[in-house]
């Protein structure tokens, strides 16, 4: 018994450091900055990190959590391959694990809500790992897509790009309080002009007149949870924010999936909208397309970064 225990201990000591070095999802419990809503902070830091690593933020969907989101996509595998860090925030809303995309606080730069907790995670990670402040990106599905729009809208200084799958426009869930579900928005009853949507986005960071992150959206035409109308509203919103016309500058069928149509708006490949024919809310993630467009597969000197190309002040 004693010997068995000892040999177990010896084995644990011998392989311990190896196990400790094998990258896995970690929870950060130290103080990482303002986090008024107590959003959980999980992070995946690959063993082989790029110099000044880029950061990808991947908020989960409703009824999901950081662990499930981490396990359910290719992002950690791609992070290990290319050396970037992935932040998996965890919603404090235990009732349905949806994100707070409704409160004025979350919709406003550095004002509070879930978005501020996530912004603090990004700032802490940049500092701790000497991350590249010009290569921070965000992507998510459903509630994670809504949070993507919120972060891109309220923190255009922090993110270089966003990719939202089956979400809604920034500001569409705006309501009285934290984590309020908007049936009107979900069912496609909230429609505005592009100018009205853009005014909401601008109000997310009053006085900000700088560069805006590039944006990519995906939506199934048969989405039964967040009606496809929201896709058209998002197109109006981001086109107005960027100052682009409403007509696509290019349209490519069967991209990246058969039956999906990729529309590009404006110049510089700045805003992409993928319409997925016949697809419900259960839309398939496209990790490779996303990381490639963010330039996270780029390991050279001229990788896409914040402030590069695209429209400037709006």
Interface contacts to ligand NAG, rule CB under 6 A: 104, 108, 111, 188, 222-224, 227-229
Query: What is the nearest approach in angstroms of ligand NAG to the Cβ of residue 233?
Result: 12
What's the burial of 47, exposed, middle or buried (CB within 10 Å: 0-12/13-18/19+)?
A: exposed
- Which of residues 126 and 198 has its CB atom nearest to ligand NAG in the complex? 198
Q: Is 250 a catalytic residue?
A: no
Query: What is the nearest approach in angstroms of ligand NAG to the Cβ of residue 94?
Result: 25
In Å, what is the CA distance from 37 to each residue of 73, 99, 111, 153, 210?
Answer: 26, 11, 12, 19, 28
- Which of residues 207 and 300 has its CB atom nearest to ligand NAG in the complex? 207
Phi, psi for 107 (deg, rounded to 5): -80, -5
Centroid of chain to Cα 24: 20
**Length of the chain, in residues:** 314
The catalytically annotated residue of 73, 76, 91, 142 is: 142
Angle at 310 between CA 308 and CA 313, to 5 degrees: 95
Q: Is the bond into 114 cis (omega within 30 degrees of 0)?
A: no
Structure tokens at 38: 């107590």
Query: What is the nearest approach in angstroms of ligand NAG to the Cβ of residue 213?
Result: 21
Phi, psi for 255 (deg, rounded to 5): -140, 130
Structure tokens at 36: 């008024």
- Which of residues 108 and 115 has its CB atom nearest to ligand NAG in the complex? 108
Query: What is the nearest approach in angstroms of ligand NAG to the Cβ of residue 51?
Result: 37
- Which of residues 110 and 292 has its CB atom nearest to ligand NAG in the complex? 110
Active-site residue numbers?
142
């Amino acid at each position: 018994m004693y010997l068995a225990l000892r040999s177990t201990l010896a084995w644990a000591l011998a392989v311990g450091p190896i196990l400790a070095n094998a990258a896995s999802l970690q929870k950060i419990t130290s103080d990482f900055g303002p986090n008024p809503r107590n959003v959980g902070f999980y992070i995946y830091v690959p063993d082989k990190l790029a110099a000044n690593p880029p950061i990808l933020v991947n908020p989960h969907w409703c009824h999901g959590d950081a662990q499930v989101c981490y396990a359910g996509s290719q992002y950690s595998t791609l992070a290990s391959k290319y050396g970037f860090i992935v932040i998996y925030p965890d919603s404090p809303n235990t009732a349905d694990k949806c994100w707070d995309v409704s409160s004025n606080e979350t919709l406003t730069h550095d004002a509070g809500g879930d978005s501020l907790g996530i912004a603090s995670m990004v700032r802490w990670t940049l500092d701790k790992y000497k991350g590249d402040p010009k290569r921070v990106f965000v992507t998510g599905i459903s509630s994670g897509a809504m949070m993507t729009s919120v972060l891109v809208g309220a923190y255009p200084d922090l993110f270089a790009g966003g990719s939202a799958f089956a979400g809604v426009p920034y500001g569409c869930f705006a309501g009285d309080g934290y984590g309020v579900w908007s049936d009107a928005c979900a069912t496609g009853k909230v429609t505005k002009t592009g100018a009205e949507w853009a005014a909401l986005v601008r109000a997310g960071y009053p006085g900000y007149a700088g560069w805006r992150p590039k944006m990519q959206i995906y939506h199934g035409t048969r989405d039964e949870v967040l009606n496809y109308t929201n896709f058209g509203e998002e197109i109006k919103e981001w086109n107005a924010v960027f100052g682009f016309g409403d007509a696509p500058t290019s349209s490519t069928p069967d991209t990246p999936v058969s039956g999906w149509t990729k529309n590009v708006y404006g110049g510089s490949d700045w805003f992409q909208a993928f319409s997925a024919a016949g697809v419900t809310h259960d839309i398939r993630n496209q990790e490779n397309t996303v990381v490639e467009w963010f330039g996270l597969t780029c390991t050279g000197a001229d990788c896409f970064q914040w402030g590069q190309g695209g429209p400037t002040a709006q």
